[in-house]
Amino acid sequence: MNTKITLAAIAAAFSISTLSAQDAAIDFEKQILPILKTSCFKCHEKEHEDNGKIKKPKGGLRLDSAAAITKGGKEYPDENVVAGKPDASWLLKTMSLPDSDEMAMPPEGKGDRVSAADQALIKKWIESGASFGAWKGVE
Ligand code: HEC
């Protein structure tokens, strides 16, 4: 047996497996949270005062804590993010709907749509188990 070739093959197989492992691990706080902050926080944060006005989270949905993201809103409790099931997760479904749909998020005229690349990233995050890592967010 040619030891050199065998070692090279093992090394190649090892680097391929490490690469795909890195690829699968999405860091919620670094990669997903900024998307939600930009596109969703305006309407889906904990109740707070803004210019003397009380702002409540729309649809009863908060996206500023891990517990709240899991809990979901009024219409789709427990179906906002369903780990492993992007097609059952309203967080992703609403942002993929066409502008004309009344459940499209952000609602028509109320902010830019989430880019296809960012939607793909969120899909992958849900598919790979929707882990929040150490992030807990606002209590
Ligand atoms: C300009 C305000 C606004 C922004 C920005 C916004 N939403 Fe919403 N969202 C709403 C309103 C209003 C409702 C309630 C809709 C209804 O009941 O018809 C809602 C409801 C929802 C619901 C349904 C919750 C439930 O269980 O009832 C989901 C899921 C949702 N939004 C996700 C998102 C996501 C994800 C983003 C960012 C991509 C986002 N929203 C950005 C206003 C907004």
E strands, 8-91, are 48-50, 53-55
Per-residue pLDDT, averaged over 86-96, amounts to 98
Residue 43's closest CA among 104, 86, 2, 88?
104
- Across the range 93-97, mean pLDDT stands at 97
Task: From 33, 35, 40, 50, give the residue whose CB has the most ligand 1 atoms within 8 Å, as the site to mutate.
Answer: 40
The H-or-E segment that residue 135 falls in is none
Tokens, residue 70: 């899991």
Identify the band that residue 66 occupies on the pLDDT scale cut at 50, 70 and 90.
very high
Average pLDDT, the chain: 90
CA proximity to 30, closest of 99, 130, 133:
133
Ligand 1 centre distance from Cα of residue 95 (Å): 9
Atom of ligand 1 nearest to the CA of 79: 26
Q: Is the pLDDT of residue 13 over 70?
A: no
Q: Is the minimum distance from the CB of 26 to ligand 1 under 6 angstroms? A: no
- Phi, psi (degrees; rounded to nearest 5) at 40: -125, -25
Alpha-carbon distances of 65 from 11, 18, 37, 89, 117, rounded to whole Å: 41, 31, 11, 17, 23
Ligand 1, atom 33: closest residue by C-alpha: 105
**pTM for this one?**
0.86
Atom of ligand 1 nearest to the CA of 114: 38
Give residue-wise pLDDT tens across range 68-81: 999 999 999 999 99
* Helix spans in 25-89 (H): 33-39, 66-71
The distance of Cα 72 from the centroid of its chain, to the nearest Å, equals: 13
What is the band of 11 on the pLDDT scale with cuts at 50, 70, 90? Answer: low
